Amino acid sequence: MNVEHEQAQLMIEIKGLSKSFGNFQALKGIDLSIKKGTVFGFVGPNGAGKSTTMSILATLMIPSSGYAKVDGIDVTEHPHLVRKKIGYMPDFFGVYDQLKTDEYLHFYGASYGLTKPERDVLIPQLLELVNLSDKREAYVDSLSRGMKQRLCLARSLVHDPELLILDEPASGLDPRARIEMREILKELKSMGKTIIISSHILPELAEMVDEIGVIEHGEMIAVGNISNIQQQLMAKRLITIKLANGQDQLKAFLGDHSLVQGMFVDGASVQVQFSGNDDEQATLLRTIIEAGYPVVSFQEAQTDLEDIFLAITRGGASEQ
Amino acid sequence: MSNILANMKQLFINPVLDKEYRLRMRSAKSMWTLLSYLFAIGLFATATFFVVGIGSNGAGIYTNDFNDILFIVMSFAQLGLIAFMAPGLTAGVISGEREKQTLNLLLTTQQSSSSIIISKLISSLSFMFLIVFSTLPIYGIVFLYGGVSPSQLLAVFGFFLFNMLIFGGFGILFSTLFKRTMLAVIVTYGVVLFMFAGTAVIFLICFTALQDYINSGIPTPASVEWIIHILAFNPACALLSIFQPEMFKEIVNVTSTTYKGFFDYVPMWLEYMLIYTVILALCLWQAIRKLRPVRGRSKSGL
């Protein structure tokens, strides 16, 4: 019963998904489960397998083995049912230059089976959501890249899908356009959509995602929320202990500690590389205070997301 | 019944067709294509008018024979132009979307593969029909002098329409199979060239091999009649059979007062249309199958 309930809560279920192109194995049996309403960040270097996974979910590619399900529906067995549930935005896409913005959305709306009265109500709302209301009569050709990206996002929402598959939606955008895109995605998140969004830049996703999955060389290296992954992957924590005095004595005091991997004195602070967990970290602080050291502050350094990304991706994939 | 009508409406009056019409008619290229076509056929008609007119009699008297020749020559020119134009208009309809990176967006919609393929074919055919229809005033020249009936004109235009469908069917199949438009266009031209020249060459090789045997008068008409079926694959011969039904039987001496062969019952143009209807159906079926890599289990996934 619990298993059934858990499965009903899943928007995406991927098991042993592989895809080969000749001798090149783009995906090597990945497993992934994403719950409904989750914003999932798919991170990995270029060529790691993000777009391939997303193409399979978007019913555009057949996996070599394994399966992928969207809301319990197998993407290869019932693709037409899956297409109703997904809104897909590929990393590279074209537009019909000789259509107006309004006509462009009408075309896709009609392609999803929406009637003209339904589209007449929906399209102004979508244009409002993506801040393109003033471009309704403009030819798509005349829009900037950022506007085209937003228009494509509106297109992917035209049939009110439960799942949004966004492959690098902010690539090639200037900082302002990135912020605009991020605000729209936050809005969509608040609307309860399940979103799977890929990027090769982790900090770009950090603000809005609930979970991340890190993929490299076609293998899923880590899945979970950012802090869990951080704990899981960043075994050594960097702790900054600021003292009123006695920095060198503290260095000597901690020299024999089994969980301290290294230390150096940095002005009034001692930087400690610590391999313990949260409880052991608390014990360390108590030990130092009980030993009489004048601790001014005891702080774990916030690990930069870029550091996590570099730590978990072993490098080199971007050269593929 | 209303459900069937709704499905038919969905298939033929659908967003893809609407979008194709808008894009095609907004493109300046379409207008230039129309202008160039009319200019070419007009130039050809004028040249034929003078060349045939001067050649047939020096007195400038135009007879019904002259009109027949003018009509036939213009019809062949039109068929040639259609064969030249159709691959160019259809062989890029799917691969072009792939190259412009709009195909994936289209394939993730609820539009069925059959609806996409048929809409694209209808859109291309409509434009070709517009072009051919706009040549009617030029055809009006032959009516000035009589000799050609409106029913003959209709039959020829019906034949053009059928050929557009066939060439278009090949174009759309190769456009689906090949990623590059250029390759699809080249292969489609290759197939169309084979229909015209390849079948004629095969016929000539077989005919040359059998010529002495046929001329000896030994064989029965039934034993050599098969060779004419090769020409039933050739659009030009099928068009000629509309004007001169007996001509091909004379080639292999199977005209006889007593013998009734296949072509006495089924005219060559009809055999041509039957053969290519089957081929067209196969082309469209394959194009629909190959458009989406993921087809699923149920029919609606097509």
* pLDDT tens-digit map of A164-180: 999 988 877 788 878 88
How far is Cα A160 from Cα B119, in angstroms, rounded to an integer? 26
Mean pLDDT of all residues in B242-262: 66
pLDDT lower than 50: segments of chain A: 315-320
Q: Is A224 left (phi over 0), alpha (psi -120 to 50) or beta?
A: left
CB contact under 8 A, A76 and B294: yes
Mean pLDDT of all residues in B189-200: 96
Q: Smallest CA–CA separation between A99 and chain B, in Å? A: 7
When mean pLDDT is compared across A197-211, B1-15, B130-144, B219-233, the lowest value belongs to B1-15
* pLDDT tens-digit map of B121-146: 999 989 999 998 898 888 777 667 66
Residues of A within 8 A of B179 (CB-CB) are none
C-beta neighbour count of B118 within 10 angstroms: 20
Mean pLDDT of all residues in B101-108: 93
- Residue B259: pLDDT above 70? no
Reported ipTM: the value is 0.80
Q: Which residues have a Cβ under 8 Å from the Cβ of B291 and sit 6 or more positions away?
A: B94, B107, B113, B116, B117, B176
Q: Smallest CA–CA separation between A170 and chain B, in Å? A: 17
- Residue B265: pLDDT above 80? no
Beta-strand relationship, A211-216 and A39-43:
parallel
Q: What integer pLDDT is reported at residue A142 of this predicted model?
A: 92
Q: Does B231 or B51 have the greater pLDDT score? A: B231
One-letter amino acid at B100 equals K
* pLDDT tens-digit map of A89-143: 998 888 888 899 999 999 999 999 898 899 999 999 999 988 899 999 999 989 9
Of A78, A98, A107, the CB nearest to B297: A78
Q: Smallest CA–CA separation between B272 and chain A, in Å? A: 37
The tokens for B243 are 């004007």
Of A62, A78, A111, the CB nearest to B15: A111
Q: Smallest CA–CA separation between B284 and chain A, in Å? A: 20
Residues of A within 8 A of B107 (CB-CB) are 59-60
Q: What is the dihedral of CA A184, A187, A188, A194, to 10 degrees?
A: 120
* pLDDT tens-digit map of B266-294: 788 899 999 999 999 999 999 999 999 87
Residues of chain A contacting B, Cβ within 8 Å: 55, 58-62, 75-80, 83-84, 86, 88, 90, 92-96, 98-99, 103, 106-108, 110-113, 152, 155, 159
CB contact under 8 A, B301 and A80: yes
A95, closest residue in chain B (CA to CA): B102
Q: Percent of chain B at pLDDT above 70?
A: 78
